[in-house]
């Protein structure tokens, strides 16, 4: 009953916009205690503590905003980026937003939650960084430590403005060479009225900040970060690669992506199948992962396959677009991470008894087995012959069996970290003394909502869904280097970068593609490798590609796996080339903003 109340509340709030945000929310997104004042920032050692606070504010409980589950960077990446894109199907976003939002039909609504969150989040980080930059040059301390802390503050500011450019600026080819007004430029810690400025003005600031940061890191002596939730030179170089991609500055993007990933290693397949909750040498920048960090506000509790709210709310943990899945090589180890029609034959091959209803792949389009009104739930049909009324049955059974087999035989993470105990929520199913399917002597399984294409890529540490959510990976930088190299006519480097990743993931992989086909292979590789990590929508925007979500149609195995009301095409021209509208949370309190300067 509680889950129904919650979902109804989300739907109602999503339809009106801002989840009840009020005037006091304006740029007031610093978590818990207020950010230190100038007196508290009088030494470089104290500034380092404040910088740690900025890092932690990227993964915290933003309770004062009244925005449910809002915890910072991972929320923005998932709800405001992946969930409105092509490849990531989010039942939670479907409950939060109306269909017009998911289809881009009201991105010009300045009162809408989607438009407010990235703005308020990024400017909150900028304000904190600016307060440090206001005083760092006069703070007491040695010059090497001063260089170290100033470099970090500049890195945070550059990251935040890069985030804003992704959402609120036009794509580069639609920007009049960067001349479009889109953002507010703030470079001091004081919150005051400021006019709109152009994309180029912000790009120039980000480039300047990153050039200065990289130089300062080189002057910082033996100073180094203690944890990967802090920033360093490699992170600054990675951010530089990202912003250069936005500007189509391909030489800079290629160099910075290459330099950023030095000292890191593309994860091997066992690591890729380990749930993405633990640190590894592919992860360059991550959230914190202490169990006590933010408890059930964690990203994993909402979006990992074994997350508590995945169980309690019945909205799934994200699913892959089936059209993307079908483009994966049959030998790709990442195919194991998604619950798709081919898993019926796979599960039956492991144990014939695990497919008691004798189903085939086409039964994923049987309306008696799949609930088209509830996220294409694979657990909606009967689990026994007697309940089937002469019709088909057992998709629930084979789905549960695949989930159980994945956990026991494929998953390479620490089992006891993620699935402690016996009466426990696993991944899309719970075990206990009663349930839908007898799994072993005395142990039954009960399946929860499991969408068509449900993911097993992200599994978190129990009980709070704790994970090292990756903000940046070496694999991202490798794929960025490949894309930039292609635009620089450095096709050999582009091919070698693909081999570096796909050579691990696909047995017998070779890259012979050239020309436009090579670019398409780079784009496809990026969509598959980085699925669910916060790039889906913004990459399509940057590539100037439309979104085409194909609806699930009963009885038609050539159809897609989107709920019909969420399916459709988002043209590249939508809302001035996918620009988020400047939110009223800014213009209502900043009287220097002239909306007439924004694209009409």
What is the chain's mean pLDDT, rounded? Answer: 91
Composition of the chain by helix, strand, coil, percent to 5: 50, 10, 40
Pick from 18-22, 364-368, 521-525, 552-556: least confident:
18-22
Mean pLDDT of 80-102: 92
Q: What is the pLDDT of residue 538?
A: 98
Beta strands (DSSP E) in 287-408 are 319-320
Q: Distance between CA atoms of 94 and 90, rounded to whole angstroms? A: 6
Do 423 and 352 sit in the same domain of this protein? yes
162 occurs within a structural domain: yes
Mean pLDDT of 566-578: 94
Do 412 and 424 sit in the same domain of this protein? yes
Is the separation of the CB atoms in 171 and 542 below 8 Å?
A: yes
Query: What values do phi and psi take at 597, rounded to 5?
Result: -80, -15
Do 34 and 183 sit in the same domain of this protein? yes
179 occurs within a structural domain: yes
CATH number at residue 107: 1.25.40.390
Do 567 and 589 sit in the same domain of this protein? no
Q: What is the pLDDT of residue 364?
A: 98
Q: pLDDT tens digits, residue range 381-439?
A: 999 999 987 789 999 999 999 999 999 999 999 999 999 875 688 999 999 999 999 99
Q: Distance between CA atoms of 305 and 316, rounded to whole angstroms? A: 8
pLDDT at 39 over 90: no
Do 463 and 556 sit in the same domain of this protein? no
Q: Distance between CA atoms of 188 and 573, rounded to whole angstroms? A: 35
- Of the pLDDT bands very low, low, confident and very high (cuts 50, 70, 90), residue 30 is very low
Mean pLDDT of 225-251: 98
Q: What is the pLDDT of residue 517?
A: 98
pLDDT at 49 over 90: yes
Do 430 and 486 sit in the same domain of this protein? no
**Of 439, 467, 495, which closes a domain?**
467
Do 438 and 502 sit in the same domain of this protein? no
Do 378 and 502 sit in the same domain of this protein? no
258 occurs within a structural domain: no
Do 532 and 394 sit in the same domain of this protein? no
Closest Cα partner for 521 from 473, 479, 583, 564?
A: 479
78 occurs within a structural domain: yes
**Domain range holding 509?**
475-578
276 occurs within a structural domain: no
Do 451 and 487 sit in the same domain of this protein? no
Any bridge partners for residue 437, and if so which? 445
Query: What values do phi and psi take at 80, rounded to 5?
Result: -95, -10
pLDDT at 18 over 60: no
Pick from 95-104, 549-558, 572-581: least confident:
95-104
Percentage of the chain exceeding pLDDT 70: 92
84 occurs within a structural domain: yes
CB atoms within 10 A of CB 511: 18
Q: Report pTM.
A: 0.93
Dihedral-angle region of residue 326 (phi above 0 means left; psi in -120 to 50 means alpha; beta otherwise):
alpha
**Of 467, 487, 517, which closes a domain?**
467
Angle at 493 (CA atoms; ends 255, 507), nearest 5 degrees: 125
Looking at the structure of the chain, the number of domains it has is 3
For the chain, how big is the Rg over CA atoms in Å? 24
Q: pLDDT tens digits, residue range 306-360?
A: 999 899 898 999 999 999 999 999 999 999 999 999 999 999 999 999 999 999 9
Q: What is the pLDDT of residue 36?
A: 67
Q: What is the pLDDT of residue 8?
A: 36
**Of 443, 467, 491, which closes a domain?**
467
Q: Look up residue 392 and give its two tokens.
A: 């088909």
Do 408 and 501 sit in the same domain of this protein? no
Sequence-ordered list of residues with C-beta below 8 angstroms from that of 482, at least 6 positions apart, any chain = 493, 494, 497, 498, 522, 525
Closest Cα partner for 383 from 447, 340, 320, 433?
A: 447
14 occurs within a structural domain: yes
Angle between helices 143-168 and 199-218 in degrees, nearest 10: 150
The DSSP output letter for 454 is B
3-class secondary structure for 473-539?
EHHHHHHHHHHHHHHCCCHHHHHHHHHHHHHHHECCCCCCCCHHHHHHHHHHHHHHHCCCCCCHHHH
Do 210 and 75 sit in the same domain of this protein? yes
Is the separation of the CB atoms in 277 and 459 below 8 Å?
A: yes
**Per-position DSSP letters for 236-283, written without gaps between them:** HHHHHHHHHHHTT-HHHHHHHHHHHTTT-----HHHHTTTS-S--TTE
279 occurs within a structural domain: no
Is the separation of the CB atoms in 271 and 282 below 8 Å?
A: yes
Q: What is the pLDDT of residue 66?
A: 64
Mean pLDDT of 213-231: 96
Mean pLDDT of 567-577: 94
Query: Burial code of 45-62, b = ≥16 C-beta within 10 A, e = fewer?
Result: ebbbebbbbbbbbbbbbb
């Amino acid at each position: 009953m509680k889950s129904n109340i919650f979902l109804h509340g989300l739907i109602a709030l999503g339809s009106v916009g801002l989840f009840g945000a009020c005037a006091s929310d304006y740029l007031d997104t610093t978590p818990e205690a207020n950010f230190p004042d100038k007196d508290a920032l009088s030494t470089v050692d104290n500034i380092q503590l404040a910088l740690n606070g900025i890092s932690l504010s990227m993964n915290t409980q933003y309770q004062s905003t009244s925005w449910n589950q809002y915890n910072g960077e991972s929320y923005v990446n998932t709800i405001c980026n992946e969930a409105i894109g092509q490849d990531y199907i989010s039942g939670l976003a479907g409950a939060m937003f109306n269909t017009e939002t998911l289809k881009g039909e009201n991105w010009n609504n300045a009162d809408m939650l989607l438009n407010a969150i990235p703005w308020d989040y990024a400017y909150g980080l900028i304000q904190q960084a600016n307060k440090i930059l206001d005083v760092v040059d006069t703070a007491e301390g040695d010059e090497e430590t001063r260089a170290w802390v100033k470099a970090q503050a500049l890195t945070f500011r550059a990251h935040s403005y890069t985030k804003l450019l992704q959402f609120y600026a036009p794509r580069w080819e639609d920007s009049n060479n960067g001349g479009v007004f889109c953002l507010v430029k703030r470079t001091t810690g004081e919150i005051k009225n400021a006019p709109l400025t152009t994309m180029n003005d912000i790009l120039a600031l980000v480039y300047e900040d990153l050039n200065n940061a990289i130089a300062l890191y080189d002057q910082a002596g033996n100073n180094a970060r203690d944890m990967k939730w802090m920033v360093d030179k490699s992170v600054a170089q990675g951010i530089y690669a990202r912003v250069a991609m936005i500007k189509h500055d391909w030489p800079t993007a290629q160099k910075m992506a290459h330099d950023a990933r030095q000292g890191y290693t593309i994860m091997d397949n066992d690591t890729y199948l380990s749930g993405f909750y633990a640190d590894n040498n592919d992860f360059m920048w991550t959230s914190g992962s202490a169990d006590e960090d933010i408890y059930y506000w964690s990203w994993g509790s909402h979006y990992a396959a074994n997350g508590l709210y995945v169980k309690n709310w019945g909205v799934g943990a994200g699913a892959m677009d089936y059209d993307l899945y079908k483009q994966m090589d049959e030998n790709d180890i990442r195919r194991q991470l998604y619950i798709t029609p081919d898993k019926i034959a796979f599960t039956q091959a492991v144990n014939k008894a695990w497919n008691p209803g004798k189903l085939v792949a086409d039964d994923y389009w049987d309306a008696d087995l799949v609930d088209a009104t509830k996220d294409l739930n694979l657990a909606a049909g009967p689990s026994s012959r007697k309940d089937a009324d002469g019709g088909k049955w057992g998709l629930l059974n084979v789905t549960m069996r695949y989930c159980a087999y994945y956990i026991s035989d494929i998953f390479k993470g620490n089992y006891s970290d993620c699935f402690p105990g016996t009466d426990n929520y696993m991944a899309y199913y719970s075990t206990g003394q009663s349930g839908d399917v007898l799994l072993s002597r005395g142990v039954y399984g009960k399946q929860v909502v499991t969408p068509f294409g449900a993911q097993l890529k992200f599994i978190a540490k129990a009980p709070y869904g704790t994970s090292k959510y990756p903000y940046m990976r070496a694999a991202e930088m490798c794929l960025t280097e490949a894309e930039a190299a292609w635009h620089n006519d450095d096709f050999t480097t582009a091919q070698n970068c693909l081999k570096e990743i796909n050579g691990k993931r696909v047995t017998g992989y070779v890259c012979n593609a050239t020309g436009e086909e090579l670019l398409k292979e780079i784009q496809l590789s990026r969509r598959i490798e980085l699925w669910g990590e916060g790039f889906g929508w913004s990459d399509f925007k940057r590539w100037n590609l439309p979104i085409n979500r194909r609806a699930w149609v009963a009885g038609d195995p050539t159809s897609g796996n989107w709920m019909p009301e969420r399916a459709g095409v988002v043209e590249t021209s939508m809302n001035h080339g996918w620009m988020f509208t400047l939110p009223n949370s800014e213009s209502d309190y900043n009287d220097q903003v002239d909306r007439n300067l924004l694209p009409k």
